[in-house]
Amino acid sequence: MPHAVYTFPPGFLWGTATASHQVEGGNTNNNWYAWENQENKILENHHAGDACGWWNGRWKEDFDRAADGGQNAHRLSIEWSRVQPAPDRWDEQALDHYREFLRGLVHRGITPMVSLHHFTDPLWLTEMGGWENDQAPVYFEKFVRKTVEAIREYVHSWITINEPNVYVYGGYLGGGFPPGKNDLKAAFQVLANMLRGHAAAYHTIHVQQPDALVGVAPNYRSMAPARSFFALDRLVARQLSASYNDAFPRAMLDGQLRFAFRSQNIPEAVGTQDFIGVNYYTRDLVEFVPNPGALFSRRYFPPKAELSETGFLANVPQGFFEALRWASQFGKPIYVTENGVEDSSDSLRPRYLLEHLHQLWHALNYNWDIRGYFHWTLVDNFEWERGWTQRFGLWELNTETQQRTPRPSAQLYAEICKGGAITPDLVNQYAPQSFSKLYPV
């Protein structure tokens, strides 16, 4: 039996990632609350409701679970609508609440990474047109300035905006996010304003905290031509990837936002990236079809790939390696800010986790500057337009009783975090089906 141990670097950050609306509960002043209260916007008409009860104190037990599991980092987000419930009003009690969260992490030896925007907008901003309004970046900068001033004592690493590409595709190109539009012009306007908002936030953070690390966490979705020999498949895969994966981070290199055959110069974005976050879940195959309404493409999962229980994700670890290689081109430190799979039975997650971390280990051996991994997620949470139908947690959540129950992957991840390594014994114990993939003869 092979005895190789895949060891990760000393000081590597091992954590989980969460987002305010998905875990806090009681968020009633943002666009997602309004969206949930419209019929048939969320699968099975689910509501976030109490979520994981963090606003009512359940964060304490969950942070204890993270610490007991050897996690030394945690990524969470600040709910804009709590901090700024109206354009002319700040809620100091909400800021105190977030300070308490962050003190709780630091007290447990867990390094916080804070996201300042994770999909949700205050209702008052939505009523002004949301990010379609050219004043949105101005409002966002004011919120960031206020928030950073309040919590910078505990935070050194900031993500200004989580997955701007998902926000735009979900809300403005026919997805299931608010405001539910399908308008390419509006999509481009929103992406441009989010880039301006990021740039403004980047500069204001560095004024207040010069040594801070500030970045963005785009979603990277691997897109491979379905038929590598066919030039049109290669072309549409490249074009889709350029708009979805490349537009936002490349604009931080040269100030030029290129998206869906549109282009705009945003010079203030140049150089506003101290690190790059990578959110990776899956890969699509892309096939050319003669249908302009579908952007001449059809996407589907690799035919032999394992699918998650609702068919939402395919387990394609090679796409994760591709995502890390893609991130390395920007010449900045890399953090894996999200990676995980929905799996209520925990039958796929151990394999998914080990096989993806094996690819991460390979990437580290190319001397790419990867500094941490944040698994999605700690406890089952409200998964946006999919409600409670998907379970991404290392810990199972009973939404009726708020009881947490550890899945086997919680212990697997704890052993990896504590040992900083993947061993043959771990693979044999938790995912024997993956042994031949991690230890080929």
Q: Is the peptide bond before 179 cis (omega within 30 degrees of 0)?
A: yes
Q: Which residues pair with 283 in a beta bridge?
A: 222
The rounded distance, in Å, linking the Cα atoms of 370 and 360 is 8
334 in a structural domain: yes
Per-residue pLDDT, averaged over 403-420, amounts to 98
Q: What is the pLDDT of residue 2?
A: 54
Per-residue pLDDT, averaged over 25-49, amounts to 98
pLDDT tens readout for residues 313-364: 999 999 999 999 999 999 999 999 999 999 999 999 999 999 999 999 999 9
> Is 66's pLDDT higher than 80?
yes
Structural domain span for residue 377: 10-406
Per-residue pLDDT, averaged over 143-153, amounts to 98
The candidate with the shortest Cα–Cα distance to 318, out of 376, 349, 359, 373, is 359
Which helix (H) or strand (E) element contains residue 160? strand 157-162
Q: Which residues contact 164 (CB under 8 A, 6 or more apart)?
A: 191, 194, 195, 198, 216, 218, 248
432 in a structural domain: no
280 with 355: CB under 8 angstroms?
Answer: no
Per-residue pLDDT, averaged over 43-60, amounts to 98
360 in a structural domain: yes
For 276, the 3-state DSSP assignment is: strand
Would you place residue 173 in the very low, low, confident or very high pLDDT band (cuts 50, 70, 90)? very high
- Give the chain's domain count: 1
Q: Which residues contact 21 (CB under 8 A, 6 or more apart)?
A: 27, 30, 32, 48, 51, 79, 118, 119, 120, 382
436 in a structural domain: no
Would you place residue 183 in the very low, low, confident or very high pLDDT band (cuts 50, 70, 90)? very high
Would you place residue 175 in the very low, low, confident or very high pLDDT band (cuts 50, 70, 90)? confident
Per-residue pLDDT, averaged over 80-85, amounts to 98
The rounded distance, in Å, linking the Cα atoms of 8 and 340 is 19
Q: What is the pLDDT of residue 441?
A: 83
> Is 304's pLDDT higher than 60?
yes
pLDDT, the chain, mean: 97
* Sequence-ordered alpha helix ranges (H) in 313-423: 317-328, 349-364, 408-419
Per-residue pLDDT, averaged over 261-290, amounts to 97
- For helices 164-172 and 247-254, the axis angle rounded to 10 degrees is 130
Query: Which CATH number characterizes residue 91's domain?
Result: 3.20.20.80
The rounded distance, in Å, linking the Cα atoms of 56 and 66 is 18
200 in a structural domain: yes
429 in a structural domain: no
421 in a structural domain: no
Residues of the chain with pLDDT > 90, as a percent, come to 97
pTM over 0.85: yes
pLDDT tens readout for residues 98-124: 999 999 999 999 999 999 999 999 999
255 in a structural domain: yes
pLDDT tens readout for residues 123-142: 999 999 999 999 999 999 99
